[in-house]
Amino acid sequence: MLSCEEVVERASEYLDRDLGRWGRLKVRLHIAMCKHCNRYVLQLGLTTRLVRSRPADPLAPHVEDQLIESFRQAPPEA
Amino acid sequence: MIEPQSFEALLQGDEQAFRALIRRHHANMIAVAMRYVRERAAAEDVVQETWMAVFRGVAKLRDPAAVVGWIYAILVNKARTRGKRDRRTLTFSDLDADGGPSQPAVSPDRFAANGRWSNPPLPWDDIDPERIVGGRQIWAHLGAAIEALPPAQRAVIVMREIEGQDAASTCDLLGLSEANQRVLLHRARARLRQALEDIVAMKGDAPAADKT
Ligand SMILES: [Zn+2]
């Protein structure tokens, strides 16, 4: 039986399905019985989904314009 | 991943297509460059030079799926060179820089001696992506937490979760072993989870007037 601390260390690999069959089963058994670890794993998954869906910060307009200006001066080679 | 139409537009030198590309990747590129050069200004230089190389070379590309990896390969190459020139390249490994190879992702203080939670995760009833998409607070908080990650963790999370690169190409681009990449990703996620827990705790303590 894994300890909570061990489950937490494997949580990312569990979510990414990178654990072997046996490793995966051990985590599943633990989180089926431990509400704290279950919560931790769910929250880690939610964190990942939030990071992925976070809208990009807008770029300062002068940065973009400056880059586009240099783009105009150096158009791609055909 | 670049859409086929956008790829065609890039090949044809379409300005709007480049604007879209810049908007989508510029900030992420700065984040990755900062793994190699620690000064923000140097990272900005490196990213700008990278864009120049992208503008010049993009017409030679054939595969839309390879565009993002190609951009980052140029970036990392330039950033590494610049880092060496500035003598800011770290002589110790990223894992040391990010807290030591044996340091766990979650503070051992939160566990009892038998490995069980003594200070378990707080419930997150308030953080539901569907409910918070309208509110910007969570995005700002998460953005700040990503920026505050140790450089190698930040580079890995940007490549994996934001730029959508797989583990193999992330290892390749950042010169990491598979094991290091996995540890850095896990630590980064654990820290970001903690940052979200902190905002939940803060909200719990906030006076009712602050709640909207
Ligand atoms: Zn547990």
**Quick one: B185 and B135 in the same domain?**
yes
- Asked whether residue B210 is domain-assigned, the answer is no
Is the Cβ of B141 closer than 8 Å to some Cβ of chain A?
Answer: no
What total number of domains does chain B contain? 2
Question: In angstroms, what separates the C-alpha of B207 from chain A's closest C-alpha?
Answer: 25
**Quick one: B99 and B172 in the same domain?**
yes
Average pLDDT over residues B94-122: 80
Is the separation of the CB atoms in A74 and B58 below 8 Å? no
**Quick one: B56 and B124 in the same domain?**
no
Average pLDDT of chain B to the nearest whole number: 86
First and final C-alpha spacing in chain B: 37
Whose CA is closest to A10, among A51, A42, A32, A41?
Answer: A41
| pLDDT > 90: percent of chain B | 59
**Quick one: B102 and B157 in the same domain?**
yes
Average pLDDT over residues B5-20: 89
Question: In angstroms, what separates the C-alpha of A32 from chain B's closest C-alpha?
Answer: 15
**Quick one: B80 and B107 in the same domain?**
no
For residue B23, the enclosing domain spans: 4-85
**Quick one: B110 and B190 in the same domain?**
yes
**Quick one: B103 and B180 in the same domain?**
yes
**CATH number assigned to the domain comprising residue B78:** 1.10.1740.10
| Residue B185 CB partners (closer than 8 Å, separation 6+) | A12, B153, B156, B157, B160
What does the pLDDT look like over A5-33, one tens digit per residue?
A: 999 999 999 999 999 999 999 999 999 99
Average pLDDT over residues B70-76: 97
Average pLDDT over residues B127-152: 80
Q: How many helices (H) and strands (E) does chain B have?
A: 10, 0
**Quick one: B99 and B180 in the same domain?**
yes
- Report the complex ipTM: 0.92
CB contact under 8 A, B56 and A77: yes
Average pLDDT over residues B163-185: 95
Give the phi and the psi of residue B111 in degrees, each rounded to 5.
Answer: -120, 150
- Asked whether residue B37 is domain-assigned, the answer is yes
Indicate whether B193 pLDDT > 70: yes
**Quick one: B134 and B156 in the same domain?**
yes
| C-beta atoms surrounding B162 within 10 Å | 19
**Quick one: B200 and B103 in the same domain?**
yes
- Asked whether residue B211 is domain-assigned, the answer is no
Is the separation of the CB atoms in B40 and A55 below 8 Å? no
**Quick one: B73 and B103 in the same domain?**
no
pLDDT at B207: 45
Domain stops at, among B85, B120, B155: B85
**Quick one: B69 and B96 in the same domain?**
no
Indicate whether B200 pLDDT > 60: yes
Indicate whether B171 pLDDT > 60: yes
Is the separation of the CB atoms in B190 and B105 below 8 Å? yes
- Asked whether residue B212 is domain-assigned, the answer is no
Indicate whether B211 pLDDT > 90: no
Range name among A50-64, B41-55, B86-100, B129-143 with the lowest pLDDT average: B86-100
Interface test with B, best of A12, A38, A47, A53 (most B CBs within 10 A): A47
- Asked whether residue B124 is domain-assigned, the answer is yes
